[in-house]
Each structure stands twice: as structure tokens, then as C-alpha cells.
Amino acid sequence: MSRYTGPKIKISRRLGNLPGLTRKISKKISPAGEHGQQLKKQSEYALRLKEKQKLKFNYGLNEKQLLNNIKIAKKIKGPTGIILLQMLEMRLDNIIFRFGLAPTIPASRQLVNHKHIIVNNEILSICSYQCRPGDTIKIKQKTSSINLIKNFIKSSKFNNIPNHLELQKNKLIAKVNNIIERDCVSLQVNELLIVEYYSNK
């Protein structure tokens, strides 16, 4: 399945607040769909699927990418759910978003794809690059790149940069200090249900 490019507000109405997907907030209270609110209690499978969909849409992954990340997380010592969240949070596109250099993860992915971002003095165009403690992220010294980032910062509503990140706004230099802690993940999600969803895959 390819990456979702349809109406983002519809997804956020169905799944809840997804800060990485869109900053828009719907004025409608009922969930998206022909019949609005759910008439019956959701099954355990439906609850697991919903949590998985939150992760998928918030971080902009397709099904294959998410499954590959799950397989990698299972091989690492520690709670699989937390390790999975840490892996997704430490992706380059998400790190740029958490710094406030882009309004959403799709916007930060575009910055990376268009080669506006420099990591450790090298231009990177790989959105899935796993940032590590000590990595330094800079903006390409080009007028168009700098102006684009400055406009994003001015319009950004997410000024609370997590403790594991450090940003010098004047110089547009960002640094990754540590691996993110579970409490600093902005997405409200139950990672245990996601691990259960993929337990037989």
C-alpha cells in the first residue's frame, strides 16, 4: 500500500489528534463517516487496528515500512513498543518536525527530499535516516532554503522542543543530544496494542 495523500483532516477526525500529519483541527465533533458516531462497542481487533493506523498516518509510513520497523524493534533488547516509538521518533523527517523547522512531517519530508538539510556536514535526502546522539543538523546555505525554514519557524505552533534536542534558532543549527524518552513522544498512542496487532505477522 502506498503512502496516504488524501484529505488529512478526515483521518484526524477518525483517529484523533495526529500532530505529525496536520495542524488543522476540525470543527465537527462526530467521527468521519456516513453514520457519524460509533453505534456499537469496538472489538479488540478494531482497537489494535486504530492504534496501528495512528502510528502509520502520523509518521507517514506505508504498511511495509511499518512492518519492517516492527521486525527490527523485536530484535532489539527491551520493550518492543517503546523501541518502535523511539525508532520512528529518531527518523530524520520526524526530528526536523520536532525541532519546529517544518509544520508537519510531510513538510519536513519534502525539505529532506529537496536536499535542504545537511546532517554531519553531508546533504541527506533519506527521510528514514536514523538520527543518533551527537548528530548535527544544519540548513543548506542557500537563500531559498534559509528563507523557507525561517517562514516555517515563524508560523510554527510547536515551540516546545523535546529535552533530547537542542536548537540554535539564530544560526539554524540543531543537535541531537540523546535518544528520546517515552514521555516526550507527542503522539497519544498505546504501543502495546500495536505490538499485539503485529504479533502474528
90-135 pLDDT, tens digit per residue, is 999 999 999 888 888 998 999 999 999 999 999 999 999 999 999 9
Query: Is residue 83 domain-shared with residue 130, that is, in the same domain?
Result: no
160-185 pLDDT, tens digit per residue, is 788 899 888 778 889 999 999 999 89
- How many angstroms separate the CA atoms of 80 and 60, rounded? 20
- How many angstroms separate the CA atoms of 155 and 164, rounded? 23
- In-domain check, residue 103: yes
Residue listed under C-alpha cell 503522539: 187
Where in the sequence is the domain holding 166, given as residue range(s)? 91-179
The one-letter amino acid at 127: C
Residue of 137, 135, 131, 91 lying closest to 116 (CA atoms): 137
**Are the C-beta atoms of residues 195 and 81 closer than 8 Å to each other?**
yes
- In-domain check, residue 147: yes
Task: List strands edge to edge, sheet with 165-168.
Answer: 122-123, 117-119, 136-139, 173-176, 165-168
CATH of the domain at 48: 1.10.1050.10
- In-domain check, residue 2: no
The one-letter amino acid at 13: R
Point out the least confidently predicted range of 58-72, 123-137, 141-155, 171-185: 141-155
Q: At residue 35, does pLDDT exceed 80?
A: no
- How many angstroms separate the CA atoms of 110 and 133, rounded? 23
The one-letter amino acid at 51: E
Please state, rounded to an integer, the average pLDDT across all residues of the chain: 84
- In-domain check, residue 27: yes
Q: Is 5 helix (H, G, I), strand (E, B) or coil?
A: coil
- In-domain check, residue 120: yes
- In-domain check, residue 41: yes
Query: Residue 160: what pLDDT?
Result: 74
Query: Is residue 77 domain-shared with residue 100, that is, in the same domain?
Result: no
The number of distinct structural domains making up the chain is: 2
Query: Residue 170: what pLDDT?
Result: 79
Region 19-38: what's the mean pLDDT?
Answer: 63
